Amino acid sequence: MRLAINWFKYSAPSTFYGLAGKLIPFFAWPAAILFAVGLYIGFFVAPTDAVQSEAYRIMFIHVPASILSMFIYLIMAGYAALGLIFKTRLSSMMASALAPTGALFAFISLWTGALWGKPMWGAWWVWDARLTSELILLFLYLGFIALQASIEDPRRADRASALLAIVGSVNVPIIYYSVQWWNTLHQGSTIKYSGTSMHVAMQQSMFTILVACWLYVIAVALARVRTIILERESNTQWVKDLAETK
Amino acid sequence: MNKLSLFGLLGLVIRRDLLLAMRRRADVLTTLVFFVMVVSLFPLGVGPEPDMLRKMAAGVLWVAALLASMLSLPRMFSADYLDGTLEQMMLAPQSLTMMVLGKIIAHWMLSGLPLVLIAPVLGLQFDMSSQALWVLMFALLLGTPVLSMIGAIGAALTLGLRGGGVLVSLLVLPLCIPVLIFGAGAVEAVNSGMDAISNLSLLGAFLLFALVFTPFVAAQALKISME
Amino acid sequence: MQQAFKLEVVDLACERGDLRLFSGLSFELAAGELMQVQGENGSGKTTLLRTLCGFVQPVEGKVLWSGQDIAEWDDTYHEQMCYLGHLNAIKDELSAIENLQMSAGLAGFSVSEQDAIAVLRRMGLRRKEHLPVRVLSQGQRRRVALSRLLVGDSKLWILDEPLTALDVGAVALMQELIGEHLSNGGMVIFTTHQPLQVAGVQTRQLALS
């Protein structure tokens, strides 16, 4: 389905391949710089916390990773739905390009959560509502990736995993609230920042790293979608004409 | 030649799947035996202290029910897929959603309902109170159809794939977590002297929600898988 | 009111995986016509037939039934066609009668036991009607599957290798049945590797390469 809007031109994989290649540095470099700045503020500028001492600094990575892992799932489901409804192949490719990054962030969130939990609660893993939801989210990502990997026909793989992502995203709020309800019922422990108010430097650090993560996600997704495009279109003429495939 | 109504079709699909299962009873029994075995393994694993068993009972029974229904999921569509019946169903000038609903109901009657009926007996192994047993049965009655419905989507998506059996569990289990939480929560509420009604109402809400959407989604999934 | 049924294929292109099977395929099939799709293994015969059924969305072009795209048809198109694929779509556990009744039921109508028995006898399955299909031979199972064509009143038969596993007598019977169907204003499109001649009807050939 080709619509007559100008920017739809870029939804053709062959055009988008070049565009994405040009865009990647514009996201990758700022991401690297902002990471460095954010981590510097987080480790050297932000003051030591009265209650949690130095351990709280893991929050600067934990919180952005958690936020992104949730957002990426929704964005991925959105792309997948677009691909399913409008049959735009590029959207489905974007969805599959985002999935590993989302899973990575969910994993980082769990990892840092465990590292945070040890000094705070004396245990690597506590059945905290947010950590549990994050674990389930990681399962959802793994399901999406596994389904896509086990279907050979790319068209069926795209459409089947799109349907799964849509069903998953409808379920995410239900899962989230039921886990929260389950947690309050069992009076589980909750990891949270216990200071009365956040220091400005803490906010700056967290925000900078969050922006850096976003830029990183975009850069990585573009890079990955380029490889997916090459793989899927490997028998077309324009790919054979590319300088880098020769 | 008289045409079938929508409910006539539903009845036909259910009757057909039940008839097929009756001619091949082993499949039904394996799910049930699996359920009984898993539940009976727990006391052997964690020790026979009645206090602990009573506390664990609801969770153990629910997790076992979840696993047992996963076990029978791959069969929901695969036989019809392999012998070509599914092709004919999709060509039929009838609502595929209704046929899928029929298959879900039949699947539940063959794999979910037996678990509901045997659960009280297994609950006795865990020294559950009679009130808790009733709530457990009722919660399973509301919850196991939801497992079959969500499972139908997974079974349809993994149709004909290598390793489909394990894959379907990977896809479906995370989606079933709310049912597990509220199902086991209902029994626990009774044990701690509270009212189970809020848990049961939520399970009922899940059931209605799933009843409206999942047959349609599973039908779409079948179309994707058959293309 | 009897409207003129017609199957039209316009500029059709199909792919399997990334492989383009055929493109620019156009033909028409009118009532009373018989068409054989020819081509080597892998040339896309089955894919073409499955596209005509609506299982596979064509990459380009469209399939029209009575002038309307089959993707836009409501279920009426499926009421007027009958597809028989490589798979028999019969259940080993059920008897021939039950199989026939069930498949008719799934297609949306009910068949009485007498009618089912009559059709099965016509297909040469006398005294096999009540046996579970499991004990029948491959050819007999194919006959059970083919008997589905005789219940219902579909206009368009789409047959993928209908003669597989059939003996000489059954092939002759099929030729006779197709002839009857055509003279009643039906149309048939099929693939086969065996010769199939219907008396008094010119078989149109469609070659896929």
| 8 Å CB contact of C89 and B83 | yes
| Identity of the residue numbered A106 | A
Task: Name which residue leads in pLDDT, A6 or A62.
Answer: A62
* In a domain? residue A17: no
Residue C154 is which amino acid? S
Q: Report if residue A122 sits inside a domain.
A: yes
pLDDT of residue B135: 94
Q: Are C201 and C34 in contact (CB under 8 A)?
A: yes
Q: Which chain B residues touch A140 with a CB distance below 8 Å?
A: 174-175
pLDDT band at B163 (very low <50, low <70, confident <90, very high): confident
Name which of C14, C15, C16, C18 to mutate to probe chain A: the one with the most chain A Cβ atoms within 10 A of its Cβ. Answer: C18
The angle, 0 to 180 degrees and rounded to 10, between the axes of the packed helices A59-86 and A154-185 is 140
Which residues constitute the domain of residue A152? Answer: 33-44+58-190+197-245
| C156-160 and C60-65 strand pairing | unpaired
pLDDT digits (tens, 9 = 90+) for B175-211: 999 999 999 999 988 888 888 888 999 999 999 999 9
Which two structure tokens, joined as six digits, stand for A242?
A: 């590319």
Alpha helices (runs of H) in B23-129, residue ranges in sequence order? 26-46, 50-72, 75-82, 85-91, 96-107, 113-125
**Residue A236 CB-density burial (10 A; 0-12 exposed, 13-18 middle, 19+ buried):** middle
Count CA within 13 A, CB hemisphere, residue B179. 32
- Longest alpha-carbon distance in chain A: 63
Residue B222 · residue B100 · CB < 8 Å: yes
Per-residue pLDDT 10s for chain C (209 aa) are 345 688 889 998 888 777 788 888 899 898 888 999 988 888 888 889 988 988 888 888 889 888 888 887 777 788 888 999 888 888 988 999 999 999 888 888 888 889 899 999 988 888 888 889 999 999 899 999 999 888 878 889 999 988 888 888 888 898 899 999 998 888 999 998 887 788 778 888 888 87
Residue predicted with more confidence, C97 or A244: C97
Domain covering C1-80+154-209 in this structure, CATH number: 3.40.50.300
Which structure tokens are listed for B127? 């020294």
- Whether A19 is covered by a domain: the verdict is no
- CB neighbours of residue C181 within 10 Å: 22
Burial track C81-113 (b if 16+ CB lie within 10 A, e otherwise): bbbbbebbbbbbbbbbbbbbbbbbbbbbbebee
Tell me which residues of chain A, numbers 156 to 215, contact chain B at a CB-CB cutoff of 8 Å.
Answer: 156, 159-160, 163-164, 167-168, 171, 174-175, 178-179, 181-182, 185
Residues pairing with B160 in the sheet: none
Confirm whether A89 is domain-assigned. yes
Tell if the CB–CB gap between B227 and A175 is shorter than 8 Å.
no
C: neighbours with 3+ CB pairs under 8 Å?
A: A, B
Coil/strand/helix, residue C59: coil
Extract the tokens encoding A44: 């050297």
| Nearest-CB residue to B167 (from A139, A140, A147) | A147
Domain total for chain A?
A: 1
- Residues near C141 by Cβ (< 8 Å), separated by ≥ 6? C88, C90, C133, C165
Q: Which residues of A touch C17 (CB under 8 A)?
A: 152-153
Q: Give the predicted TM-score (pTM) of the model.
A: 0.89
Q: C199: distance to nearest CA of chain B, Å?
A: 30
181-220 in chain B: CB under 8 A from chain A: 181-182, 185, 188, 206, 217, 220
A7 three-state secondary structure: helix
Across the beta sheet with C187-191, the strand order is C81-84, C156-160, C187-191, C34-38, C203-207
Contacting subunits of B (3+ beta carbon pairs below 8 A): A, C
